[in-house]
Amino acid sequence: MINTKDMKRAEQWKIASTAPECPGRSVHIWKLSLVKNAEEISSDILSKDEIQKAERFCFDSDRNNFVLTRTTLRNLLSRYTGVAAKELTFSYNRHGKPSLLNPGKNKALFFNVTHSKDIALFAVTRLCEIGIDIEYMRDDVKCLKLAQRFFSEQEYHGLAQLSGKALIMGFYRCWTRKEAFIKAVGSGLSFPLNSFAVNFEKDDNPKLLWVDRERFQGICNLFPVLHDEDYLASLACLGAPEQIDLYRCS
C-alpha cells in the first residue's frame, strides 16, 4: 500500500503474481515495457475492430505497440472482472475514451491507458473516472512555443520564468497533468487546454488550480505517477482515492 502523498519513486513498482484486489477507494497502476515484451506480440484476443485499427497504422512499431498495449489491457481487465480477455467488449465515448460494456458481476470498473515511446501505463479503479498520461521527455521540445499556443496564460507566464532543465521539467509536469485531467473527463482536445490551469512545481502537490466551471463542475485530484530521467507521468482522479498501488506487468 502506498500513501498517495509520496508515490513517485520508480523502486516502488512491484510485481503481482496473482490478480490483486482493487478495493473501493484504491487505484492500481500497471507499467508495461513495450521493448522488453515486443517479441510476445499476438493479436489473438483482439476484436475485429481492434485488428482493423492495428492494420491502419503505417509503421510496424506503432502497430506492434497498439497490439501489445491493447492485449495487455484486455488481460489486466480480465483479472479484475473475471470475464475472459477475448470476451470483453469496449464502447467509446464520442471523443474516443474507451470503457467496458461488460465489467462482470462486480460493479463498474474505470480504466485509462497511456503510452509514450517504450512505456505503457494502465490505471484501474472502481472509484471514479480516471485519466493517465505519460510523456517521454525530449530535451529539444519547444516548451514556451507550445505552452504559449496550447496552455493557459497563467501557465505560460509561469513557465516563461524558467529556463534550462527546470523549464523542461515544468513543461512536462504541466503537460501530463493537463492531459491526465482531460483524459479523466474524457473530452479529448474538445476541452480547450487554456480553459483550466494546473501547477507545474515539483511532484509533491500537483493541483488543478482553476477550471472554466461551465465546462467542468466536479472535483479533480492529481497525482505524480512516474518520474525518472526519461519519462514523466501523471494521474487524474475525478474523486479522492485513499491509496495508489504501482505494479509492473511481468
Ligand X SMILES: CC(C)(COP(=O)(O)OP(=O)(O)OC[C@H]1O[C@@H](n2cnc3c(N)ncnc32)[C@H](O)[C@@H]1OP(=O)(O)O)[C@@H](O)C(=O)NCCC(=O)NCCS
Task: Kindly list the residues in this chain that would bind ligand X in the complex (CB under 6 A).
Answer: 66, 69-70, 95-98, 112-115, 131, 133, 146, 150, 175, 179, 182-183, 186, 188-189
Residue 5 or 142: which CB sits closer to ligand X?
142
Q: Tell the smallest beta-carbon distance from residue 205 to ligand X (Å).
A: 22
Residue 83 or 182: which CB sits closer to ligand X?
182
Q: Tell the smallest beta-carbon distance from residue 188 to ligand X (Å).
A: 4
Q: Tell the smallest beta-carbon distance from residue 164 to ligand X (Å).
A: 19
Residue 14 or 149: which CB sits closer to ligand X?
149
Residue 189 or 242: which CB sits closer to ligand X?
189
Q: Tell the smallest beta-carbon distance from residue 13 to ligand X (Å).
A: 19
CA–CA–CA angle 79, 224, 189 (5° rounding): 85
φ/ψ of 10, rounded to 5, equals -60, -30
Q: Tell the smallest beta-carbon distance from residue 81 to ligand X (Å).
A: 17
Residue 92 or 210: which CB sits closer to ligand X?
92
Q: How many CA atoms lie within 13 A of 235 on its CB side?
A: 34
